[in-house]
């Protein structure tokens, strides 16, 4: 169901690790909608080699960049503009990692080196990306930047640990930079708060399997899939959402505004 929503647009997609990645699905959808893209990921993730399949399918170059390295990001934006022969219309930031979560550290016993690194990768990297683009004047007017987040930024999900704090920071950066980039260049910046989704990053959270079925039961429409997230992201990159900026947009089947559902109550009675 392609509608040429992104015909003639050029974008950079961060974070496609394997075919489950939200960024992978989004890359495919953007190309189906007529966009040209550049793919990027951390050098260590590229060594897995999976991304080459996606690059071939999307006819896209892969330019390595660790999102915590200003040199890498400068190189990425400069080379992307060379490749496109002009400026960029959209950027997807689909990056997240908490070493504390990976190592199963409880929230009351965090390692601060890990926390620092996690914040840099998962949140400050958005500022780094935006500041690099801003200084290089790499984005076209009415360009669109989307970063992926999770509702643990607003409500407590205990096993999400310090990733919840990273997501709060990510959403705040999106608002703050959204103001400055909006005034200067009419660039819009939003976060999409996605349902729990089976991916490498998602599965790192303790008890993820049970949690995903709880969220599904709580959401009137059920959990939003990665494919549906890709569809929603395409609309935000398109010209149909030009006046939407500095928002945290819930893409979660109604989970965020549901207090309790009949399905969850029923499942408690079963026990």
Ligand X SMILES: NC(=O)c1ccc[n+]([C@@H]2O[C@H](COP(=O)([O-])OP(=O)(O)OC[C@H]3O[C@@H](n4cnc5c(N)ncnc54)[C@H](O)[C@@H]3O)[C@@H](O)[C@H]2O)c1
The verdict on 197 binding ligand X (CB under 6 A) reads yes
Residues 63-102 that bind ligand X (CB under 6 A): 66-68, 94-97
Nearest to 72 by CA among 24, 143, 14: 14
Give Cβ neighbours of residue 240 (< 8 Å, ≥ 6 apart). Answer: 5
Tokens of 207: 């008890």
Per CB under 6 A, the segment of 81-89, 176-184, 200-208, 233-241 that binds ligand X is 200-208
Give the contact letters, 16-55, x = binds to ligand X (CB under 6 A), - = no: -x---xxx-----------------xx--x----------
Contact 92, 26 (CB under 8 A): yes
Q: What angle do CA 137, 143, 149 make, to 5 degrees?
A: 110
CB of 66 to ligand X, least distance (A): 5
Q: How many residues bind ligand X (CB under 6 A)?
A: 27
Among 63, 101, 148, 234, the residue binding ligand X under the rule CB under 6 A is 148
Residue nearest to ligand X (CB): 202
Contact 89, 9 (CB under 8 A): yes
DSSP codes of every residue in 109-156? G--HHHHHHHHIIIIIHHHHHHHHHHHHT-EEEEEEEEEEE-GGGTS-
Per CB under 6 A, the segment of 55-63, 144-152, 177-185, 258-266 that binds ligand X is 144-152
Q: How far apart are CA 171 and CA 104, in angstroms?
A: 24
Among 26, 144, 199, 238, the residue binding ligand X under the rule CB under 6 A is 199
Among 77, 90, 150, 237, the residue binding ligand X under the rule CB under 6 A is 150
Select 7 or 75, whichever has its Cβ closest to ligand X. 75
CB of 151 to ligand X, least distance (A): 8
Contact 123, 169 (CB under 8 A): yes
Contact residues: ligand X, CB under 6 A: 14-15, 17, 21-23, 41-42, 45, 66-68, 94-97, 121, 148-150, 194, 196-197, 199-202
């Amino acid at each position: 169901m392609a509608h040429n929503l992104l015909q003639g647009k050029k974008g950079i997609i961060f974070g496609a690790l394997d075919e489950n990645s939200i960024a992978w699905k989004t890359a495919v959808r953007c190309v189906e909608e007529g966009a040209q893209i550049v793919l990027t990921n951390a050098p260590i993730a590229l060594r897995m080699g999976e991304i080459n399949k996606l690059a071939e399918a999307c006819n896209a170059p892969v330019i390595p960049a660790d999102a915590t390295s200003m040199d890498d990001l400068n190189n990425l934006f400069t080379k992307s503009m060379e490749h496109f022969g002009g400026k960029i219309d959209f950027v997807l930031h689909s990056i997240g990692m908490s070493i504390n979560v990976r190592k199963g550290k409880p929230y009351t016993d965090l390692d601060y080196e890990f926390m620092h690194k996690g914040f840099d990768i998962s949140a400050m990297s958005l500022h780094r990306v935006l500041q690099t683009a801003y200084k290089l004047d790499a984005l076209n007017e009415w360009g669109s930047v989307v970063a992926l987040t999770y509702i643990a930024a607003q409500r407590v999900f205990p096993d999400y640990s310090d990733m919840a704090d990273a997501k709060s920071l990510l959403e705040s950066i999106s608002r703050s930079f959204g103001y400055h980039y909006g005034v200067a260049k009419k660039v819009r910046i939003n976060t999409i708060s996605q349902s729990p989704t089976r991916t490498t990053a998602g599965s790192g959270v303790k008890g993820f399997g049970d949690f995903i079925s709880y969220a599904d039961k709580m959401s009137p429409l059920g959990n939003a899939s990665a494919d549906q997230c890709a569809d929603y992201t395409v609309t935000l990159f398109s010209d149909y959402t030009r006046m939407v900026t500095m928002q945290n947009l819930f893409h979660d089947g109604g989970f965020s505004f549901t207090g309790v559902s009949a399905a969850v109550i029923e499942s408690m009675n079963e026990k």
